[in-house]
Amino acid sequence: MARSTHFTIFVVFILCLIIPVTYSLPFIVLHGISDKCSSRGGAKFTKLLSNWSGSQGYCVEIGDGSWDSWFMPLHEQTKIACDKVKSMSELSDGYNLVSLSQGSLIGRGIVEFCEGGPPVKNFISLAGIHAGEASVPLCTTTFICILADFIMELGIYSKYVQDISAYLKGCEFLPQINNEIAGKRNSTYKERFASLENLVLIMFEQDTVLIPKETAWFGYYPDGSFDVILPAQQTPLYTEDWIGLKTLDEAGKVKFINVSGGHLDISQSDMKKYIVPYLTDEASSQLTTRAESSSSHRWLSSMWNFFMKLGGSKEDQLLLSIVY
């Protein structure tokens, strides 16, 4: 009997060694302005990332999507997003966050402001408006221009008027999330942001929606000038480490990625190269000890990619149209 028990234990031990044991962190997607989770591009974006990474993805919608992305204050949008991630049991052990354009501000709001929320491990930002916006976004039609002017007048995240005192007084969201207000800087915001395992900042080389496009890397114009663009490392936000960006960068946790294309025009190959690695088991290995071999999820993802190619799917097909 003793031999049989020992043999059973030995077999179970061997099986534990050879059978892959993996756990992929889930991820959420936060879309940009004028978009919604049910849009064709956004839904496909989330689905493909799930298929390639083997991780479950969720697009988190705020209000009715498109309309509220324009007119709902960003503090309110952030609170709704915070409440949603706290209510999702799937995220309780932590999750990764993928954000598009304005969604990057909501994502940072979740990281910095969301009290008692599950931890964000990897933050992937595509064309984020991190340092502000110096133009009227998407002003291609009269109706859009009226909406855009309204947004700019609200001072949500604009530094269009190059008067730093007026900006700090009138802008309601960006100065707080960037910890810019002297005497009111919150060490908790910095601590939470600096706790990220990876921060991936993707800038689009031909982006004409974000002015300057370097805002995706926390770069911006110096106060009172449009002649030069300061890289992130030369801004006070970085040098004085208001939100922990310098801390992350010096630890090798910030990835500054430049891809070809207009605003959010990302190809499938660039998605696989620059986003998927931060959604897989390997990128989240600190959560738990696991085998490094391929899992059933990974095998299924490989088969999916094989049949997609067999069916004529183009690797560099652009997924997201020009949405802010």
User: What are 118-139's pLDDT values in tens digits?
Assistant: 999 999 999 999 998 876 554 5
Distance CA 250, CA 258 (A): 20
Output 282-287 pairs: Cβ under 8 A, ≥24 positions apart. Answer: 283/96, 283/121, 283/122, 283/197, 283/198, 284/24, 284/25, 284/94, 284/96, 284/121, 284/122, 284/197, 286/121, 286/197, 287/23, 287/25, 287/93, 287/94, 287/121
Q: List, for residues 63-96, the tens digit of each pLDDT value.
A: 887 778 878 888 999 999 999 999 999 999 999 9
Active site residue 130: no
Half-sphere exposure of residue 22: CA atoms within 13 angstroms, side-chain side: 23
Name the catalytic one among 35, 207, 265, 281: 207
Whether the Cβ atoms of residue 275 and residue 99 lie closer than 8 Å to each other:
no
Distance CA 71, CA 85 (A): 22
User: Which pTM value belongs to this model?
Assistant: 0.77
Name the catalytic one among 35, 263, 270, 281: 263
Of 263-277, 290-304, 307-321, the range with the highest mean pLDDT is: 263-277
Residue 125, beta-bridge partner list: 99, 201
Token look-up 């991936």 returns 200
Q: List, for residues 285-309, the tens digit of each pLDDT value.
A: 444 333 333 344 445 445 444 544 4
Active site residue 75: no
Active site residue 187: no
Q: Report the candidate in 321, 240, 275, 266 with the shortest Cα–Cα distance to residue 97.
A: 275
Residue 181, both tokens: 């207000």
CA distances from 257 to 35, 59, 113, 162, 276 (A): 23, 23, 26, 27, 14
Distance CA 29, CA 40 (A): 14
Name the catalytic one among 101, 104, 125, 295: 101
Q: What is the dihedral of CA 227, 228, 229, 234, to 10 degrees?
A: -140
pLDDT at 143: 57
Q: In order of start, what are the domains of the chain with their CATH numbers?
A: 27-132+186-279 (3.40.50.1820)
